[in-house]
Structure 1
């Protein structure tokens, strides 16, 4: 039996070579498998790092990039409110679109009166919010109405001190309601009646015309006479 399974020297060499080849193949295959696993691990571990690079500097889910917020600049006022006084049809406060000029304010206040001295008014001047525009009459040398901002609206017209003093003489044809109320015994209701009379008759021809206004009798007129003129 032992002689049947004995190997010749040549067969033993061949068998040893086969075993060696098999061992080398096993080692090579094992090394390749280990290398493939490492490559796969590298791909998986590197994949998340690509996402931050793609979103750098761009918009995020939470909103737009910094510095692209809404404009917060202050809006420009859309209107101007001015007080028109003097030789106009309807003295008073008017509201106009921003950028309007003096000529538009006069039109809104009923237009210039027949005796208005428009040569002393800069009709092309842009209006300023809160100002008073005064239109002098032909031959008028002083401004009886207080101009708080010192702006008479026309060249050569002097400004008043900011409030009507007790010794100021008021022009019945130029005064507005606020100025009339500075006169002795004149309240809001009576001031409106004086303006209504002036609008109906065009102007006061003489201070004695005040006697035609309802509510002004001889006693009240005596107090008013030294304080008014036409």
Structure 2
């Protein structure tokens, strides 16, 4: 070993240790800088994902129920999305019957929950849209046998659940009643039953 190296051996050891410590300190600072840079990016990405999920929840349309009646191929209760229009639910029901009066229907009207849509036939007077209970809001008003549901038909004398269902089925298969006397075409409704209820029913 050279004399000068032997003489300054301790100083060289201290210098090497100092360099090692300095390198370690610099390495630690570099790691902290990387964490400081990458952590906000990760948090920002997660925040954007949560915000997107919230937006998806907000934009999901609410489900509503529509009662579709009258001159339609498949009348009944339909589940649709809020914001859809009369045209959409008519399409889901298979479309109109040939006897339907399209002039009385507002296909562009937006749907809302518990909405009742009645499709009238040609030359038939009647609203295409009504609220629940609107058709027979007055107890003294005659029941429209072309619009009444089962519950309303059952308020008539001699008409129970079975006959009410038969009346609705007849109406769906043959179209609206033109005269109240057509009720006697239905099995179970004879002249005696008809005499009891004829003053309480109407076709328009």
Structure 1 residues 92 and 36: CA distance shift in structure 2, 3 A:
closer
TM-score by length of 1: 0.63
Structure 1 residues 203 and 141: CA distance shift in structure 2, 3 A:
closer
Match of 2:87 in 1: 103
Verify the 8 A CA contact 1:87 1:174 in the aligned structure 2.
no
Considering only CA atoms, is the larger Rg found in Structure 1 or Structure 2? 1
- Offset at residue 228 of structure 1 (A): 0.8
Verify the 8 A CA contact 2:150 2:165 in the aligned structure 1.
yes
Q: Distance in 1 between matches of 2:175 and 2:12?
A: 114
- Of the candidates 173, 177, 189, which is equivalent to residue 146 of structure 2? 173
Verify the 8 A CA contact 2:66 2:115 in the aligned structure 1.
yes
Q: Distance in 2 between matches of 1:146 and 1:227?
A: 21
Q: Distance in 2 between matches of 1:81 and 1:198?
A: 23
- Listed as ranges, the gaps of 5+ residues in structure 2 are none
- Of the candidates 172, 175, 180, which is equivalent to residue 207 of structure 1? 180
| C-alpha distance after superposition, 1:107-158 (max 9, x if no partner) | 52651462x4432321233433432223345555565x9623xxxxxxxxxx
TM-score by length of 2: 0.69
Match of 1:221 in 2: 194
Verify the 8 A CA contact 1:92 1:176 in the aligned structure 2.
no
* Larger relative contact order, structure 1 or 2 (CA cutoff 8 Å, min sep 6): 2
Correspondence list, 1:48-197, <5 A: 48-59=28-39, 64-65=42-43, 66-70=46-50, 71-73=53-55, 74=57, 75-77=59-61, 81-88=65-72, 90-96=74-80, 100-107=84-91, 108=93, 111-112=96-97, 114=99, 116-137=100-121, 147-148=131-132, 161=134, 164-197=137-170
- Of the candidates 16, 22, 32, which is equivalent to residue 36 of structure 1? 16
Verify the 8 A CA contact 1:80 1:129 in the aligned structure 2.
yes
| C-alpha distance after superposition, 1:65-114 (max 9, x if no partner) | 25244413325237653222344455432345666532343452651462
Of Structure 1 and Structure 2, the greater helix share is in 2
Q: Distance in 1 between matches of 2:74 and 2:164?
A: 14
Structure 1 residues 140 and 212: CA distance shift in structure 2, 3 A:
closer
Q: Distance in 2 between matches of 1:112 and 1:96?
A: 21
Aligned length: 193
Structure 1 residues 91 and 169: CA distance shift in structure 2, 3 A:
farther
Q: Distance in 1 between matches of 2:7 and 2:171?
A: 121
- Offset at residue 193 of structure 1 (A): 0.7
